[in-house]
């Protein structure tokens, strides 16, 4: 998860997030090169009194500064489109979970099970135990098996919400009357935190998301206990 004064992204916990990090570095390097070139040209023009008559009227340089930006845009667009299609790809998910946004909590329903659903409320500050994070912990976590394709169906019951977990590279709007879907694979075990990312009312800041990725055997034990309690 993020820590104070952190400048970069959170550590990737899914293949899609790893691709997004690589694309970010790729685009940022292009921005650095363009910025360096522009600053150099500005400094050269300000600091010299010499004038090159071949630059004042030159077909060749006009061709270069037309074609070069087009090539740069293509170098940015192609990997961007690739990741966009990867994020929409959903192939034979092993588990489907329906996440419903409410004012102001989330409810989860494991649709592959007959009766496995629960509400997830934020733990109040006064009830936190040592080591838990303020405004991020919930009384029930969304538990998933690691290294398995997971599909999340996202919707809302009242107003617009947004289900977002940065370290998994996921963000999907929860719209009343509409069912959106997003897929991911948790590449390692861990606890990943997120928050509602669409302003949804007075307690918008108090409906966190906690995803816990565990080995398949542990997930089966957890689901059995939840079904027994139900």
Q: Residue 219: which of 142, 120, 154 has the closest Cα?
A: 142
Q: Listing from the earlier edge strand, what are the strands of the sheet with 190-196?
A: 142-145, 208-214, 190-196, 161-165, 170-174
What pLDDT does 166 receive? Answer: 94
What pLDDT does 24 receive? Answer: 95
What pLDDT does 230 receive? Answer: 64
What pLDDT does 56 receive? Answer: 67
What pLDDT does 176 receive? Answer: 95
What pLDDT does 165 receive? Answer: 95
Spatial separation of the C-alpha atoms in residues 81 and 76, rounded to whole Å: 9
The answer to whether the beta carbons of residues 52 and 109 sit under 8 Å apart is no
The answer to whether the beta carbons of residues 106 and 207 sit under 8 Å apart is yes
Q: How far apart are the first and last CA of the chain?
A: 31
Bridge partners (DSSP) of residue 183 are 151
Number of Cβ within a 10 Å radius of residue 75: 13
Which residues make Cβ contacts (< 8 Å) with residue 189, sequence separation at least 6? 146, 213, 214, 215
Three-point CA angle 111, 203, 194, nearest 5°: 50
The answer to whether the beta carbons of residues 98 and 155 sit under 8 Å apart is yes
What pLDDT does 45 receive? Answer: 83
Strands 117-120 and 105-110: antiparallel
What is the helix (H) or strand (E) element at residue 100, kind and residue range? strand 95-102
Residue with tokens 């419903």: 100
What pLDDT does 107 receive? Answer: 96
Spatial separation of the C-alpha atoms in residues 96 and 110, rounded to whole Å: 6
The full set of domains in the chain, from first to last, is 13-86 (1.10.287.90), 93-227 (2.60.40.420)
Three-point CA angle 75, 7, 174, nearest 5°: 75
Spatial separation of the C-alpha atoms in residues 156 and 128, rounded to whole Å: 27
Q: Per-residue confidence of the chain (230 residues) as pLDDT tens digits?
A: 788 888 889 999 999 999 999 999 999 999 999 999 999 989 988 888 777 777 667 788 889 889 999 999 999 999 999 999 998 888 889 999 999 999 999 999 999 998 899 999 999 999 999 989 999 999 999 999 999 999 999 999 999 999 999 999 999 999 999 999 999 999 999 999 999 999 999 999 999 999 999 999 999 999 999 888 76
Retrieve residue 45's tokens.
Answer: 């023009």
């Amino acid at each position: 998860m993020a820590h104070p004064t952190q400048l970069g992204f959170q550590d990737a916990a899914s293949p899609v997030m790893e691709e997004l990090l690589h694309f970010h570095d790729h685009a940022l390097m292009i921005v650095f090169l363009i910025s360096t070139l522009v600053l150099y040209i500005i400094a050269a023009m300000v600091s010299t009194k010499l004038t090159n008559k071949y630059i004042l009227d030159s077909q060749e340089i006009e061709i270069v500064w037309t074609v070069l930006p087009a090539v740069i845009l293509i170098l940015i667009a192609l990997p961007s489109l690739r990741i966009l299609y990867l994020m929409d790809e959903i192939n034979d998910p092993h588990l489907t979970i329906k996440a419903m946004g409410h004012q102001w909590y989330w409810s989860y329903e494991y649709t592959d099970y007959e009766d496995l659903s629960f509400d997830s409320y934020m733990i109040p500050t006064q009830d936190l135990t040592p080591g838990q994070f303020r405004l991020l912990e919930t009384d029930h976590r969304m538990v998933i098996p690691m290294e398995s394709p997971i599909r999340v169906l996202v919707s809302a019951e009242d107003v617009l919400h947004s289900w977002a977990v940065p370290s998994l590279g996921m963000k999907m709007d929860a719209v009343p009357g509409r069912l959106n879907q997003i897929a991911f694979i948790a590449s390692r075990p861990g606890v990943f935190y997120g928050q509602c990312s669409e302003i949804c009312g007075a307690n918008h800041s108090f409906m966190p998301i906690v995803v816990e990725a565990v080995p398949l055997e542990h997930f089966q034990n957890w689901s059995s206990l939840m079904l027994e309690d139900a």
